[in-house]
Chains A and B, each alone.
Chain A
């Protein structure tokens, strides 16, 4: 890297000097830690599923370089191309989502994955970053040209996506997508009256979900009153943290993790707590906090509303997902299956987040006098 001089005008040279290297560094640490965690947590799960012990590790290591390459390549894009990528991505995402509903493979009562040629794709993961960017674009257009109903267009897209995702059904993704969109709308200057209305609407939506989706109701019931049902997962999760204590049992030495279903994905933070102890787990939380706040700080001097809203949306999505995962495993909220960004196993989730973070890096690059790229 030292060969890159400040006067280097090559693509990579420019990239190096304009990209948020702190953000990038923190991301790579997360990715590295994620590999460790998948190594620790997945063999037990794989064995239980009668797969070879290294099944998930191999898949993770296969996806890993692709993800990193995506972060890098996408972060090279100028904002205008990010916009284009998002639009294309979103359109394909919605089409795939529709196909998933028709041809998808059903796993644990939900139709979320589309399998093709040995790979399975979870379209809803990819929709999230693309939609955040498209929504940001729509909102910024709405604000710059008063006649352009960008907010309504984004609302329409949201309704399409939500109805497709709820059809799977996948309430967790629905909540994340809607929450990110709402935040963006809020940032784009939604009158406070509507902010409050949206809030009430969201609460009503969750209440409705409670009454209409049995699996949601049982999870909430179990959270509010653990005696009403099987709290096996969350009990094991808390036990894992407790077992880890201050310094953890050491990498690969966790015991409770073997009893934890989905240890490699929805409960990987508990494995981190058990094997690495409270300090490293705190550091992971800190790293997520750092990434979100660092990104936010970076856009505080941003002059483009589109860039501001897009980055904010992507960061909120990233932070929200991390918070839902961590809070679930700590019994702060009802258990909700959500991957921990970059740390959990999950090909689609990993790649989609790479795309999202690649776009964050691309949009937060310093663009002195280069607004024409917008």
Chain B
């Protein structure tokens, strides 16, 4: 059927009217312009199509790669320790939900699901599947194997949704520092909370200053003491004395971030940074350092500790009374409260207050954790306060405050801000000189004396030259006053003491004496042995080499005359 066969001849225009004819000619001419514009636009669209689909697709990687990067950046950034060991990471895990309107047989679906997830409560599942909703969670956070099995059940109406979940591969290790984040990926404590914004936006892992190995050693050794002395808890810190970096920090009891719901309030409490305690004798470090630094006392001067001090209805007594004149090193070594109080009374409240302020004992810690304690100190600083604070009563600071203060005393007198973040090469914080380096050296000598001859003998880790001070504080009873039986036993020290690199604190809360300790539960019996083991195990990891403790070079540095006024015997400090 060809069209040409009967072609109807087209007639020329019927000229209805000359005017209309003229207008239609104008219209046709103008129509050419419209057609040209359309043709141009269609050609342009075609070229752009080629550009976008083919040329752009090969040449510029803009759109796809950008979106690919955007989708890769799901969840929170990782948290790693100073050596890059993973502490917290986000993984995408499947979660099971159901659309009850698609479920054909709720009973059968629930039975089928129970063949994979044995622990599910069938009644609960049935109730969910019978709800008039389009979405109910059945189980969140499945393993890939579970997902595969559930998928293989082929139950209509079961669906999976990928969700980001936070994992803490180290479990309890460092849980107080790392903290945890909730199901909706919001940091709720620790570093997770402090750096929530950074972790959320960042793809680079956040490097902490802690070292999981040190963390593990601290935890294990303190846990051991807690168990053998039936204590209620404990804390420990290992601090880089010259940078303020926290290498390890534990608070016991601790918690597993994976089972945060089961953790008690006590377990979640970070004793090391959030708890404040009257530290007891370890505070004599600061008292002695201040006296030496002010020159109100010298390494050869001393005080009469024969009689207890009676002041304002209080009596200040010694735990190991010597009933004689004691030199400054002796006061420290024998932990004389009487001597310390007299030493403090000589330089007075004003100097003491100023010194405490310089050490940061009046302020919240500067560490990057949301759980930071504010110290408690007397509002009215009377004479009695000055005297009791000299031996660590009447002021309460956190264990981390104490550790940071000791680092300042031993490292040459410079206070570095403490940090939980890794300081990268060339990143040096600004430190403040608090005491002179001469005072610092004197302090190291008498700290070593405590470990060689005094209450801290059990802290002596052979070859690593530990120097430190024990503390056995009486805990304030709930009803006010002091409870003799409830103690806070601690040891704070530095190693190697001739050139301190690290400061260690071990604190055990309410230890009870046992047979091995002959009933003692003092810092020397409870905390010092833990420090010895911690130092022996950590030092090799930290690159501290064992030294011959008797080598003349070291003896020269640590040489000390402890009793210049007394028996006139010069003692090398062993």
Q: Name A residues whose Cβ lies closer than 8 Å to a Cβ of B.
A: 2, 5-7, 50, 140, 143-144, 146, 183, 186-189, 235, 238-239, 241-246, 273, 277-278, 281-282, 285-286, 288-289, 292-293, 296, 299-305, 308-309, 312, 316, 319, 323, 326-327, 330-332, 366, 368-369, 371
Contacts and interface: CB of A to CB of B under 8 A. Distances in A.
Interface size range of chain B in the complex: 35 or more
A288 B45 CA distance: 11
A278 B28 contact: no
B17 A144 contact: yes
Contacts of B13: 303
B4 to A, nearest CB: 11
Interface string B6-21: 1011110110110110
Secondary structure at chain B's binding surface: helix, strand, loop or mixed? helix
B53 A277 contact: yes
Contacts of A146: 19
A243 B64 contact: yes
A242 B6 contact: no
Nearest to B68: A239
Given A293-B38, A316-B34, A368-B9, A241 B28 contact: no
Contacts of A281: 49, 53
A331 to B, nearest CB: 8
A369 B9 CA distance: 10
Given A6-B5, A143-B23, A285 B49 contact: yes
Given A187-B30, A188-B27, A246 B44 contact: no
A183 B35 CA distance: 11
B24 A327 contact: no
Interface in B7-61: 8-11, 13-14, 16-17, 19-20, 23-24, 26-28, 30-31, 34-35, 38-39, 41-42, 44-46, 48-50, 52-54, 56-57
A296 B35 contact: yes
A188 B20 CA distance: 10
Nearest to A284: B49
Contacts of A244: 53
Given A243-B64, A293-B38, A282 B30 contact: no
A273 B53 contact: yes
Contact of A246 (B45, B53, B64): B53
B395 to A, nearest CB: 55
24 contacts: A143-B19, A143-B20, A144-B16, A186-B30, A187-B27, A187-B34, A188-B27, A189-B26, A241-B52, A242-B56, A242-B57, A242-B63, A245-B57, A246-B54, A273-B53, A278-B49, A278-B54, A281-B53, A282-B49, A296-B31, A303-B14, A308-B24, A308-B28, A323-B41
B124 interface: no
Nearest to A295: B35
Interface in B74-100: none
A187 B31 contact: yes
B33 to A, nearest CB: 9
Secondary structure at chain A's binding surface: helix, strand, loop or mixed? helix
Contacts of B67: 235, 239
B34 A241 contact: no
A289 B53 contact: no
- Chain B CB within 10 Å — which of A5, A238, A241, A319 has the most? A241
B1 interface: yes
Closest 5 CB pairs of A and B: A303-B13, A289-B42, A242-B57, A278-B53, A241-B53
A238 B65 CA distance: 13
B133 to A, nearest CB: 11
A285 B42 CA distance: 7
Nearest to B33: A186
B38 A289 contact: yes
A20 B213 CA distance: 85
Given A189-B23, A242-B63, A308-B24, 19 more contacts: A6-B6, A50-B134, A235-B63, A238-B56, A241-B57, A273-B52, A281-B49, A285-B42, A285-B49, A286-B46, A288-B42, A289-B39, A292-B42, A308-B28, A312-B34, A327-B41, A368-B9, A371-B14, A371-B16
Nearest to B28: A300
Interface in B356-411: none
A281 B30 CA distance: 30
Given A143-B19, A305-B20, A316-B34, A239 B53 contact: no
A305 B27 contact: yes
B31 A300 contact: yes
Contacts of B44: 332
Contacts of B134: 50
A58 B53 CA distance: 31
Contacts of A292: 35, 38, 42
A296 B14 CA distance: 20
A2 B46 CA distance: 37
Contacts of B10: 301, 366, 368
B23 to A, nearest CB: 5
A289 B53 CA distance: 20
A241 B49 contact: yes
B407 to A, nearest CB: 48
- Chain A CB within 10 Å — which of B19, B30, B31, B34 has the most? B31
A187 B30 CA distance: 6
Contacts of B53: 241-242, 244-246, 273, 277-278, 281
Contacts of B24: 302-305, 308
Given A281-B53, A282-B49, A302-B24, A2 B1 contact: yes
A319 B38 contact: yes
Interface string B249-282: 0000000000000000000000000000000000
Contacts of B6: 6-7
A285 B23 contact: no
Contact of A242 (B39, B48, B52): B52
A278 B50 contact: yes
Contacts of A319: 38, 42
A304 B41 CA distance: 28
Interface string B453-475: 00000000000000000000000
